[in-house]
Structures are given as structure tokens and as C-alpha cells.
Amino acid sequence: MSDQHSFETLAIHAGNTADPLTGAVVPPIYQVSTYKQDGVGGLRGGYEYSRSANPTRTALEENLAALEGGRRGLAFASGLAAEDCLLRTLLTPGDHVVIPNDAYGGTFRLFAKVASRWGVEFSVADTSDVAAVRAAVTPRTKAIWVETPSNPLLGITDIAAIAGVARAAGARLVVDNTFASPYLQQPLALGADVVVHSTTKYMGGHSDVVGGALIVNDPELSDELAYHQNAMGAVAGPFDAWLVLRGIKTLAVRMDRHCENATKVVDLLTRHPKVTQVLYPGLPEHRGHEVAAKQMKAFGGMVSFRVAGGEEAAVGVCNRAKLFTLGESLGGVESLLEHPGRMTHASAAGSPLEVPGDLVRLSVGIENGDDLLADLTQALG
């Protein structure tokens, strides 16, 4: 499919070729491990074993590449599986990475507890500060890692500016685009080398699948990642790939509603006497507002806020919510809330990535906006 089509059209049609045998408009779930060969080495369509390639996964990978404007997409069993494959492809013992001072706790754990054991070093920097990132770079820096918006403090990084820092250092720029989704932001077009997704979140969109993805433009890096994907084996299964592919078809309309509801929630929170700070890049007073307005189509469905009364008050808000479901993860059609310090970011406790105890994170869903406001009002008390 031509990349000249609109995002909404690509989301529905890219990779979704009608089945040549039956004409089915939805790609089949190829629940298969191996494939009949027409003589030794006589592969049909290049398929020999489903760790190496599977037609359902291929459909998803083609779709992911189209949506991010990349040459190649690779689908994994989880977001962390995608990150692990990327680290092992880009880095060798002794290499250095600059990581954000606000990032998903699992990403920090991967660097601090796993990659560090085989000799990868990292420095923490405020990636919204270009000078701070530049100062953190060393002669051994091979990658700069960015989340924008970041998790859970909703920080914004100027992707194009940091891409310039990375190029000057001879390093790769990796952008985790999970919070924005490709509908709101396309990092490759802004100079990133690799885009990372937890497809569990907005891409799947229904809290019923776990998956991850990498999207790249560089052909050599693409081949290296594909080699490691096969060699390491943490690939997306066919049913999981099918679920993500199905979810992506409604990504654009879902994201419009997520953003609309988030704006209503932010308006309520900014006026509530028990809320001391609202973290949302759509607010004009947000430190990264101008950059976000420049590189994003809209400001997303994630909102964080701080509660008067400290950590116990924040936990109380989480426990009193009824329509907002208390749970980890994000990006589903249903609204979720959590206490990052005790839940998703517990692994960052005591580190430079530790989050405030009075923080509550919302994943604003696509329910009726007034119902969500009523629930937050009663939860805040």
C-alpha cells in the first residue's frame, strides 16, 4: 500500500491484504509452527518456521512500518522483549547509553539490573534539557534513549534536537513512542533511528494482549535486528499479532476520544483544591508545551497529578475510584489509574528515576467524559 495514503487509511489497510485463497478481508491467524517445503530449501513465501517468520506477524510488521513511516517493523512478545533485542543488537560490553530521568520502571530495571551485568553502562539525564543530554554523552555512548511523553511525569523531549546530539556523538537515538502512538507523533520523521512500542498499550487498545515492536529505517540495522529477533526468539505469537493488528484499525478514532476526555479531566483537576499539580503537555504552563505542540498532533490520553496530603492521600484516591480501574498498564478503552511509586515504578525506588509518593497516574479511556469526571470528583473527596 502506498505511503501516500492518510494515517487512518493505512491503519486499516497496510499489511491487511485479502487472503488469496478465500478472499477473507481479515488476515488469517496462522496458528502454525512449521511449513511444508517443496523440496529441500523450497520455501513457500520464505516461511519455514514461525519463530523466524509467520504470515500473521508479517502483516502486523508491515502495518507497524507503514504507520511509523519506517522501512521495517518487527513484532515481539512484549515491549521489554523488543527493548532487550534492541540493546543486544546495538551494544557490546563497555558501551554506554544515556537514559531519561523519567522513564518506565521496567526500562530502568532492564538497564540497571540486566544490561549492567554484561558490561553496559548508563548515565541518567533530563532529556528535556538538550545541554544536559549533551553533557552526559561520553566517547563510549552508542545510544540515547528517550520517552516522550515520559512515564509517569509526562515530560517532553525535543526529538529533532536530541537527534542532532546523537548524530554528533555517532550514537543512535531510540524513542519510546508508546504514550503518543504513531497517530500523534512519528519520531523517525524527526530524526530518530529506532522507535519502540509496547503494543500492549494504545496499539492493541483493549487490554487483551501483550506485545512490543521496533520500527527502523536503516537497512543494515533492520537486518541486524531481524537476525537477533530470530536468534533470541521472543517473537509475537500469531494470535497476539492478530489482536494488535485488529486494535490498530481503530487507533485513530480511539486516540481522538482519549485526547478529548483527557482535556476534560485536566480541566477538572486544575481547578480541584486537593490537587497540587497537574502534569499534562497540553497545559500552556507545562515546561514542554511548545515542543509538544510542534511535534505532536494532540497531547494524548495520559494525565498525572499530585495530591495534597502526600502519599497516603494519593493512595486513598486510587482506592476510592470506581469507574477508573485500579491497575497497571495503560492505553486501553477503559480508564485506569495507579500509584506509580508503589506499582509500575516500584523498581525505580531509591534511584534517580524515583517518582513522587503523592503522584497518581491516569490512563483516560473512551467512556463518557462526564462519568469519568464524576468518578474523579468522588475519589478526590
Contact 331, 200 (CB under 8 A): yes
Poorest-pLDDT segment among 20-29, 186-195, 227-236, 293-302: 20-29
Cell 482519549 found at: 258
For 43, the grid coordinates are 520455501
At which of 210, 230, 246 does a domain end? 246
Look at residue 2 and tell me whether its pLDDT is greater than 80. Answer: no
> Is residue 133 in some structural domain?
yes
Identify the pLDDT of residue 1. 60
Mean pLDDT of the residues in the chain: 96
Nearest CA among 256, 259, 272 for reference residue 302: 259
Residues 210, 304 within the same domain: no
Q: How far apart are CA 298 and CA 364, in angstroms?
A: 14
Residues 164, 59 within the same domain: yes
Q: How far apart are CA 61 and CA 195, in angstroms?
A: 13
Contact 240, 209 (CB under 8 A): yes
> Is residue 2 in some structural domain?
no
The dihedrals phi and psi of 100, each to the nearest 5 degrees, come to -75, 155
Identify the pLDDT of residue 3. 59
The dihedrals phi and psi of 73, each to the nearest 5 degrees, come to -115, 145
Contact 89, 225 (CB under 8 A): yes
Mean per-residue pLDDT, 311-338: 97
Residues 131, 233 within the same domain: yes
Residues 323, 283 within the same domain: yes
Give the number of other Cβ atoms within 10 Å of residue 156's Cβ.
24
For 296, the grid coordinates are 505532536
Please give the DSSP secondary-structure letter assigned to residue 34.
Answer: B
Q: Model confidence at 160, in pLDDT bands (50, 70, 90)?
A: very high
Contact 247, 203 (CB under 8 A): yes
Q: Print the domain residue range for 365.
A: 252-380
Contact 50, 238 (CB under 8 A): yes
Mean per-residue pLDDT, 262-274: 98
> Is residue 119 in some structural domain?
yes
Poorest-pLDDT segment among 32-46, 60-74, 140-154, 298-312: 32-46
Look at residue 302 and tell me whether its pLDDT is greater than 70. Answer: yes
- The tally of domains found in the chain comes to 2
How much of the chain, in percent, has pLDDT values that exceed 70? 99
Q: Model confidence at 269, in pLDDT bands (50, 70, 90)?
A: very high
* DSSP code per residue over 236-294: PPHHHHHHHHHHHTTHHHHHHHHHHHHHHHHHHHHH-TTEEEEE-TTSTTSTTHHHHHH
Mean per-residue pLDDT, 206-211: 98
Identify the pLDDT of residue 44. 87
Residues 113, 239 within the same domain: yes
Identify the pLDDT of residue 348. 87
Poorest-pLDDT segment among 172-181, 200-209, 326-335, 339-348: 339-348
At which of 246, 261, 290 does a domain end? 246
Q: How far apart are CA 268 and CA 253, in angstroms?
A: 23
Mean per-residue pLDDT, 63-80: 98
**Looking at this protein, which amino acid is placed at residue 4?**
Q
Mean per-residue pLDDT, 165-187: 98
How much of the chain, in percent, has pLDDT values that exceed 90? 91
- Containing 320, the helix (H) or strand (E) segment is helix 310-320
Angle (CA) 173-332-197 rounded to 5° is 15
Mean per-residue pLDDT, 243-272: 98
Look at residue 179 and tell me whether its pLDDT is greater than 60. Answer: yes
Q: How far apart are CA 63 and CA 42, in angstroms?
A: 27
User: So which residues are the catalytic ones?
Assistant: 51, 104, 176, 201
Identify the pLDDT of residue 19. 87
Look at residue 221 and tell me whether its pLDDT is greater than 90. Answer: yes
Report pTM. Answer: 0.96
Identify the pLDDT of residue 43. 86
Look at residue 201 and tell me whether its pLDDT is greater than 60. Answer: yes
Poorest-pLDDT segment among 8-22, 124-138, 139-153, 173-187: 8-22
Residues 153, 58 within the same domain: yes
At which of 246, 268, 288 does a domain end? 246
* Residue 305's CATH number: 3.90.1150.10
Residues 82, 185 within the same domain: yes
Burial of 54 by CB count in 10 Å (0-12 exposed, 13-18 middle, 19+ buried)?
A: buried
**Looking at this protein, which amino acid is placed at residue 114?**
V
Residues 347, 286 within the same domain: yes
Residues 214, 292 within the same domain: no
Mean per-residue pLDDT, 39-56: 91
